[in-house]
């Protein structure tokens, strides 16, 4: 796996390649605590519950993973389940 981007910024995570496993039957993204903490901080997740305020989804960054030289961007609408009732609810995010 290659570099991980949070928005337009390349992070130090996997900048020089790293090993990764893809489980297509799982909707969560697991990783080293430092990487997950950086992503959760960037999307404004509560540190304890990993939840995000649904009213802020439109301002959350795209998270991009580079695999085998190809970049796969994941937009907030794809990594946060948008509730059908209002936007003042909190939803868990998949990064842990």
Task: Judge whether residue 26 has pLDDT over 80.
Answer: no
- 93 vs 95: CA distance, rounded Å: 6
Quote the pTM value. 0.82
Going from the C-alpha of 13 to that of each of 9, 64, 65, 83, 86, the distances in angstroms are 11, 12, 10, 31, 35
Of 14, 16, 86, 76, the C-alpha closest to 45 is 76
User: What integer pLDDT is reported at residue 96 of this predicted model?
Assistant: 67
Lowest mean pLDDT: which of 37-41, 75-79, 89-93?
Answer: 89-93
The full set of domains in the chain, from first to last, is: 4-16+32-92 (2.40.70.10)
């Amino acid at each position: 796996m290659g570099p991980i981007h949070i928005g337009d910024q390349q992070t130090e995570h996997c900048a020089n390649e790293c090993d990764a496993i893809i489980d297509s039957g799982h909707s969560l993204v697991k990783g080293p605590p430092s990487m997950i903490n950086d992503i959760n901080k960037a999307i404004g997740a509560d540190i304890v519950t990993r939840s995000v305020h649904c009213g802020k989804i439109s301002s959350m960054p795209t998270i991009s993973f580079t695999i085998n030289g190809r970049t796969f961007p994941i937009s907030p609408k794809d990594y946060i389940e948008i509730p059908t009732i209002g936007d003042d609810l909190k939803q868990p995010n998949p990064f842990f």
